[in-house]
Amino acid sequence: MATPELVHHATGTRTKSSDYRSVPPQRKTEDDSAKPTWREQLRRASIIVAMLVVVALTAWSALTYYNARRNSPSSVLAHTVERIYTIGYQKRASATLEKKKKTGNYTVDHMLVEANPFGTNTTSLYVFFVTDQLMSVSYTVSAPETNFPDFTRVVTTQAQRGRTHEFQVTGLIPSTKNVVTFTLTDVDEHTITRQYTYTMGDVLGNEPVRVNATFFADNSTKLTNGLYAVMPEAAEGSSTHFAFLYDSSGILRGEIPLKNVKGTRFITIGQQTCYAVSTTQFACVDKLGAVKNFFNFDERYSLFSDYTTDSNGNIIAIATNGNAFDKTKEVGTYVVRINILNGKMTVLANLARLLNSYRTTTVARALTADGGSSDGAWNWLDLDSISALDDNRYLLSSREASSVITLDVNDSPSITSIIGPANLWNDPKYSYLVMKKNGNFADFAGQNDIRVSNVNATGYTLTLFNNNYAYSPSNPTFNWSNALPTASQRIQATNSEARSYVYTYAVNTQDNTYTLTSSMSTPYSPLYGNAQFVDDAVVTVDSQAATWSAWNNQGTQLVKFNGHEGTNVNGARASLGTVYKVQYCF
């Protein structure tokens, strides 16, 4: 029996201005006896004028939208993204789908398919249908007009098989025809397939559809079936950011719009994926792409950098207080908790109070994205990441101080230990808190992305990305050469010896020591970046070069992706600019 094809061609999709072209009308001759009357001529002229007005308005709207999203900071795009992350938008989208589900008889031969109804992934489809038998589902996305590889995902396994099927298809290729092949398997392992064709519009951002991927000899280590969440700086002049999802071949498989915040990380709370969509708001999205919960900062607080969760799923974030900024220009000194049950925000600690003696030795300067400094803010700690030891103790990474600080928020907040340069913390108020090195190894400098694991009564395991860059605009008189002699003090590598590292420590909280247990060398990345352990592999980022790599545990590079070497479907060159973080997930 022939396999039926469900054909759908997108209407009203995002259209580039270059896709619009004028077609000259064809002339046809008429003899004088066939000429219409003056009334008929007037009627025809009115119809033609009306049609021209409609075409002109349609083209103008599309061109305005395209030019606005490309060029204007206060663009249609920014307004659209702002609207997506509202309760009203999400409720209307859900209501529309529910109405269609109730009024239609959707089967495997007549599926309900909607393009990105919730607005949270521009290259996705919502799918709903019902089967008579218990069945499992998988799908494969193909782009026959390109040379891109197929993309396959399992929706439900045999153990999860059911009769009602509702899910999100990810991985469609923009600006081309996509064929989605659904494979359904019953309890007797009999399978049926159905196909759905969708012509995807253009992406909202400027990202490459394919980045250059270089694979190396060792293929023995395989990453699990996931996607790289790539979080770059926004395009120049744009107030809209994105997180992009790339597969293991370097093909764009998802575009997640954000408001006025760089992508930081994705966290899982229950069955939902949560992330910051702006500096004042988190969104938690379900498997369909629907935003089920919004969580907001109170009053004048805003997200400064990183966030994590406690054991109850509450969000713990590094924040800036707007009132404090107005007085002193200070940023990123607060740690706050947002309760996911009632949405209430609580201030857990203000580092400006806990470390005030050190604070008074610094000046009101802040690091800039190009490695320089500015007096526009007082970023004397530059807390770039946070990780939980338990519900009362959190590790904070201070890039400015090249230190990892333990914060205890139980009852009265306090600093209980510091891993960092002893001569930086030689004030008697802090010197007794500095942990001792157990062994002879180089210290980290300007580190990012601290992660905690194996927490027990005697200590924990600490991993971090050692940028190996010792520079502090807020503390310009401190002698970093003496404190961290092995660290670089240049924003650019001057020779092949400059490297960054992935460090793993065994931290003993009983005897107040830490031991370097593993070190993996990576290309020099003085600012930003991260390191993530995934099964038997490690994912790292060279932020300034806009590259990310996967390595095995022995430090052998498996694959390298270059965000500066990318193309779109039409062959145009595209680049990701600065990549702040890459997280292997989804």
Nearest CA among 488, 521, 511 for reference residue 437: 511
pLDDT of residue 196: 97
User: Which of 48-62, 258-272, 378-392 shows the highest mean pLDDT?
Assistant: 378-392
Residue 217 pLDDT exceeds 90: no
Q: What is the pLDDT of residue 220?
A: 67
Q: 250 near 210, Cβ under 8 Å?
A: yes
Q: What is the mean pLDDT of the chain?
A: 87
Position 276 confidence tier, pLDDT thresholds 50, 70, 90: very high
Report the percentage of the chain scoring pLDDT > 70. 85
pLDDT at residue 445 tops 50:
yes
3-state secondary structure of 211: strand
Distance CA 33, CA 23 (A): 29
Q: In degrees, to the nearest 5, what angle opens at C-alpha 526 toward C-alphas 320 and 228?
A: 80
68 CB-contact burial (10 Å; exposed 0-12 / middle 13-18 / buried 19+): middle
Give me the pLDDT at residue 498, please: 84
**Identity of the residue numbered 137:** V
Paired strand residues for 217: none
pLDDT value at residue 47:
54
pLDDT digits (tens, 9 = 90+) for 86-125: 999 999 999 999 999 999 999 999 999 999 999 999 999 9
Cβ–Cβ under 8 Å, residues 546 and 230 = no
pLDDT tens profile 346-368: 999 999 999 999 999 999 999 98
For residue 39, the model assigns a pLDDT of 57
> How far is residue 151 from each of residues 14, 169, 517, 550, 561, measured CA to CA in Å?
23, 10, 38, 20, 18
Please state, in angstroms and rounded to a whole number, the distance separating the CA atoms of residues 145 and 212: 19
Q: Are strands 579-585 and 227-232 parallel, antiparallel or unpaired?
A: antiparallel
The pLDDT value given to residue 495: 57
Asked if residue 168 lies in contact with residue 199, where contact means CB atoms within 8 angstroms, the answer is no
Measure the CA–CA gap between 335 and 355, rounded to whole angstroms.
14
The mean pLDDT value for 478-497 works out to 83
Q: What size, in residues, is the chain? A: 586
* Distant-in-sequence, close-in-space partners of 146: CB < 8 Å, separation ≥ 6: 173, 176, 569
Distance, first Cα to last Cα, the chain: 36
Could you tell me if 447 and 471 are in contact, meaning their C-beta atoms sit under 8 angstroms apart?
A: no
* Distance, CA of 303 to CA of 425 (rounded, Å): 27
Residue-wise pLDDT for 7-55, tens only, equals: 333 333 433 323 322 333 333 334 444 455 655 665 565 555 455 543 4
pLDDT of residue 572: 83
Q: Which secondary structure element, helix H or strand E, spans residue 501, and what is its range?
A: strand 499-508
Q: Walk me through the domains of the chain, giving residue ranges and CATH numbers.
A: 87-199 (2.60.40.10), 264-527 (2.120.10)
**507-566: per-residue pLDDT in tens?**
999 999 999 999 999 999 999 989 999 888 999 999 888 999 999 988 999 999 999 988
How much is the pLDDT for 369?
A: 79
Identify the residue whose tokens are 């001057």: 494
**Alpha helices, DSSP H only, in 360-515?**
428-431, 480-483
Q: Residue 74: pLDDT above 80?
A: no
C-beta separation of 544 from 526 below 8 A = yes
Rounded CA separation 552/559 (Å): 10
CA distance 534 to 360: 41
Q: Identify the pLDDT of residue 497.
A: 72
Tokens of 99: 């109405």
- Tens of pLDDT along 128-175? 999 999 999 999 999 999 999 999 999 999 999 999 999 999 999 999
Neighbours of 341 (CB within 10 A): 8
Strand 393-398: give its sheet, edge to edge.
383-388, 393-398, 403-408, 414-419
Give CA–CA dist 141/289, Å, rounded: 18
- pLDDT for 382-436, tens place per residue? 999 999 999 999 999 999 999 999 999 998 999 999 999 999 999 999 999 999 9
d(CA 384, CA 530): 11
Strand, helix or coil for residue 187: coil
